[in-house]
Amino acid sequence: MDGTGTVTGAGPAGGGLGRRFWLLTAALWGFPAFCFWLGVGVLLGQFGEWEMQAKAAVLEKALGRYVDQARLPVRIGQVLEREYRAVVGRPSAEVAPWLAGMNRRYPEGLIAWHVFDGKGRLLTPCSQRHRPVLERLFRSIREPWDAWRPESVKEVFLPLEGTWLDSPVTLAVRLRGQPGQVREVLPAGTRESSFPDWAWFMAEPGARPGNVGGLLCLIRSSRLPLRDLLRESAPLAGEPGVGVGFFSPDEGIFELPQLLAAEAGPRFIGQSRARVEARFPFEGFLVETRPFEDRFVLAAVTPLPEERPGILLLVFLPYALLSFTFLRRLADALRSGHPVRLPLGWKLGLLFVLGLVLPLAVSGSLAGVYLSEKAGQIREEALREGTRELDRLDAGFDLHLAEMERLLAQTCAATGAARLSEQGWKDFLGGLEERFLMDRHFLIASTGRLVDLNMQDQPVELLAKQGLPWKERVALVDLWVRRGWTQSHFPLAEFLHPGVWTNARTSTLGRRQREMVRVLSAFTSLIIDRVDGAAGLSNGRNRPSLHAMAVGAISEDPIFPLARSAHSNLGEMRLVESPSDRGYYYTDVIRGADGRGQYCLFTRHTLYTLQAPYLEGYFRNLPPRPGISLVVIGREKGCSPVFPDDEAETPFAGLVDHLRDSGATTLVQDAGGPDGDSLVIVRKAAHLRENFLCLAIGGSHLAARLRPFRTGCLALVATTTLLAFLLALVLWQRLVWPVGDLVEALAAMRERKLGFRLPPRPADELGRLCEAFNNALAALRDMEVAAVVQARLLPPGPVEVGPFLVGGRNLMTSAVGGDYFDLIPLGEGRLGVVLGDVSGHGVAAALVTAMAKGSFSVLLPHFAGTPDALLHKVNGQFLGLLHKKKMMTCLLGILDTAADPPRLVMGCAGQCSPVLVPAEGEPTVVDLPSQPLGVIARARFQVREIPLVGTAMVWYSDGLIEAQNERQEPVGYAMFSRLAAQACREGKGDPIGALFQAVREFTGPVPWADDATALFIIPRAWIRDGCGNQAPRV
């Protein structure tokens, strides 16, 4: 590429053609292609990521529907309602066949069916002893809360096909006001396979006596065909393009028939075994899994996003076509040498793209890739930090319990030294209860005497709301039960009807309380004896009673959690979990002044009374953190406390429900929020029992952590862009702008506006080039003057001499040149004719021609008869003045039209041989071998006399015969002779113009390398009527 924006080649003979082609291809096509496809790849990757996120959202929705459809209470409730609708209203005689059909249809022992008529009478077989209990139970379930009394149902054990149902009153509380809903009879974690843990009922208002009007079902979830239930639920949750199913990693079960083949099961299970609750690709599918009911894992699959080659094809085809066109033109330009000119606007655009757009695109793409990777790292780091924070919150509760143990032990040790009265002990225990929030305590002396007790079974939530009006309490109880509260009926009875379940401080001990005190009194003697014996102190008493020893033997039974805790963890806060109780127990011995055990203190703390102070203190000391939400939600849906406040539960409600229904312990998910996509972590607490720990790291927080990196990338891109812009500006000022001025200067040269001047530039290469252009323009202006002067040295036009017309034309390759011709009148019908060609071009050659004109003009009249003598004279002058630095070829002739016949005497000094053109026939070349002027002193010059009868003579310089066409073929003597003859005979009044036009047609657009001059001596008759149509006025 030259300075004018032209790509050129060296022609077919260029040895470095291939190397130049590949270098130019790499510079002009390779780098832009790399940047272009890099950007295409980044865009396609981003589109793929968006499509993957959309697929993941579809899978999440499908799994949510599957969980809803497969949720056991919901599905069983739908089945039971269908069966109930089939039997309701039928006469009692049809109950037995219907019941037999139900027992055949469902697994044995799964459901106990109890059918009632419109008055609540039992229609299914039952013992006479339990029939009235079941009927009272069903009527109690149907009545509203404001009409309920706890004594309406007796506390008895009900038979259920070989097992027993405990606490019908609690069952009535769980089902009242919720027909068609499957409710838990035993809370999760306390179930035993022999006991029914779910119950369901429906009643038809206005049913006739004797006809089916209600149905009560007691269900054992351990006998549910869970696999069949999941199989039936799968089609209800799927959608086109998404398949749902389940598998069991431990049992090797795999049922995902919609999209995956059965033989893929082992591979699928193997890959997902370590990836529970993970989203991962599998054999062309995107898979998302979720644990369900401890045994199974639910899975949703959908095909991975397609590669979409059509988009690439749409981009590639026009790109390939444009690239092929560009490279082909580049190769043609290099192979043939044709210039491929780039306009200045193209060059400016290319400079702008290479200097600004490409750096911006490349830096922006790299910054986008870096930020994407950094966002993933920040998310993983935030996930680890969030997990550690939940671990600290969970494990901190153990430290809280240890502090409680220490304070209780210090209090017991400090109190033992003081001698307190019985009222003093009660006051001490009252303060202890208020300080440590105990819901139950016993203080028993070493003699077995009960000093004080408190058995407060009411939760704090109920105590706080006992002042509400009656209707509000009824509505609140109904709401709690509908939301799944699993409290027993005793707190509800006390809440609705204060005084029914009385406090031990103000009423007589009940049967169950007396039995518990008796057991603890017996157990106290065992504990104190063991403690005193370990300290080497004898109490002087006899061996424990047989009753105390029997109590000690059964202390490991779960039904005695208080005794069990005291037996194994004396002086420690211990969590005891059993089917009937769950709480923290503390047992310690209070010693007297002599060091012997005097009293045994038994305390019970609910989970709430220990957890609430810890959580309140934790959240009170937690500094505000924008974008991060930490919430603790109780497992009892709708009625458990939420920390730090109830409103904080809303964003986590759905995820907590999913975790309640599944057997997983942790759920990590991206969830939308008001400040963008949040990272949500929900886990079941290991130490804060019965709670879910929830942490949401908002999109604003993640964005804030990413902001320094984004700012750095933006600064880098901005800096790169600014530097590129400054570089482009500098290149514009230092390169493009001066080049544009140079283009204007070239245009001024072409238009002969030689007064144009470039503005001054810095003293660099382009500045010096602009200065050189200004000097060149000034020189050209001077050359234009010189050209005018040189043109005035030439004859103004053709000259008529006798029957001949003599004229010439000079074509310079520059403003002034070295070709020269002259017509010098000699009188008496004679004309001196001179044609010279000075070596070189430019001003020096022009000065030599001026010198030659002066010499010939002065000397020719004196040497009119002897041309060779004149040539020797001029040769001597040249040698004396030029010292062989310049030479000149010359033809000198004297045309004598007065002679008969007219003749031309010629002398030649190395000039091209003239062409003699007859009126008909072939032209001939007059050969005159000789040496140029100014070369050697003793040069020999040929002189020849030629008669001109019906002939024409053409003189010419070597610029005409050496002119070449595109194939580098010169005109040559032979072709020029034919063209000269044709111009003389067919010139139509301008034979010189016809000759120059013929040579131009042969050479085409190729510029002539040398000055060209031609001179004709032609009969006037040829101009008037011989070969032309009309003779000009000369």
**322 neighbors 263 (Cβ within 8 angstroms):** no
Q: What per-residue confidence (pLDDT) applies to 986?
A: 82
Q: Provide the mean pLDDT of the chain.
A: 76
457-491 confidence digits (pLDDT tens) = 445 444 444 566 766 767 766 666 665 554 555 56
**271 neighbors 249 (Cβ within 8 angstroms):** no
The correct answer on CATH 3.60.40.10 for the domain covering 799-1026 is yes
250: Cβ contacts below 8 Å, ≥ 6 apart? 295
Q: Which amino acid is at 97?
A: P
CA distances to 492, 524, 555, 569 from 563, in Å: 27, 9, 6, 10
Residue spans of the domains in the chain: they are 70-228, 623-697, 703-774, 799-1026
Longest dimension (CA), the chain: 183
**Residue 89: count of CB within 10 angstroms of its CB:** 13
Q: Shortest CA distance to 335 belongs to which of 652, 678, 21?
A: 21
Mean pLDDT of 922-932: 89
> Token pair for residue 796?
């103004």
CA–CA separation, 588 and 598 (whole Å): 11
CA–CA separation, 564 and 832 (whole Å): 149
Which 8-state DSSP code applies to residue 911?
P
**343 neighbors 743 (Cβ within 8 angstroms):** no
CA–CA separation, 670 and 118 (whole Å): 52
**Residue 421: count of CB within 10 angstroms of its CB:** 8
pLDDT at 551 over 50: no
Q: What per-residue confidence (pLDDT) applies to 857?
A: 86
515-535 confidence digits (pLDDT tens) = 666 667 777 777 777 777 777
Mean pLDDT of 728-736: 72
Ordered strands of the 819-827 beta sheet: 819-827, 830-838, 888-896, 903-909, 942-947
**Residue 165: count of CB within 10 angstroms of its CB:** 21
Q: What per-residue confidence (pLDDT) applies to 1024?
A: 61
CA distances to 83, 84, 98, 179, 198 from 77, in Å: 10, 10, 18, 10, 11
174-205 confidence digits (pLDDT tens) = 777 788 888 877 655 444 556 677 888 999 88
697 has which bridge partners?
Answer: 628, 679
**806 neighbors 895 (Cβ within 8 angstroms):** yes
Q: Which residue has the higher pLDDT, 282 or 13?
A: 282
Mean pLDDT of 100-109: 84
772: Cβ contacts below 8 Å, ≥ 6 apart? none
> Token pair for residue 7?
């790509």
Peptide bond into 901 cis (omega under 30): yes
Q: What per-residue confidence (pLDDT) applies to 79?
A: 84
Q: Which amino acid is at 946?
A: I
Q: Is the fold of 623-697 the same as that of 799-1026?
A: no
CA–CA separation, 423 and 443 (whole Å): 13
CA–CA separation, 695 and 629 (whole Å): 6
Ordered strands of the 198-203 beta sheet: 111-117, 212-219, 198-203, 183-184
Q: What per-residue confidence (pLDDT) applies to 833?
A: 93
pLDDT at 99 over 50: yes
CA–CA separation, 863 and 552 (whole Å): 162
Q: What per-residue confidence (pLDDT) applies to 890?
A: 92
CA–CA separation, 532 and 595 (whole Å): 8
CATH architecture of 623-697: 2-Layer Sandwich (3.30)
**989 neighbors 1029 (Cβ within 8 angstroms):** yes
Comparing 39-53, 257-271, 926-940, the range with the smallest average pLDDT is: 257-271
Q: What per-residue confidence (pLDDT) applies to 581?
A: 63
Comparing 28-32, 42-46, 564-568, 955-959, the range with the smallest average pLDDT is: 564-568
Measured at the CA of 242, the angle between CA 236 and CA 244, to 5 degrees, comes to 55
User: Which of 657-661, 888-892, 898-902 shows the highest mean pLDDT?
Assistant: 888-892
- The string of DSSP codes covering 191-240 is --TTS--EEEEEE-TTPPTTBEEEEEEEE-GGG--HHHHHHHHHHHH-BT
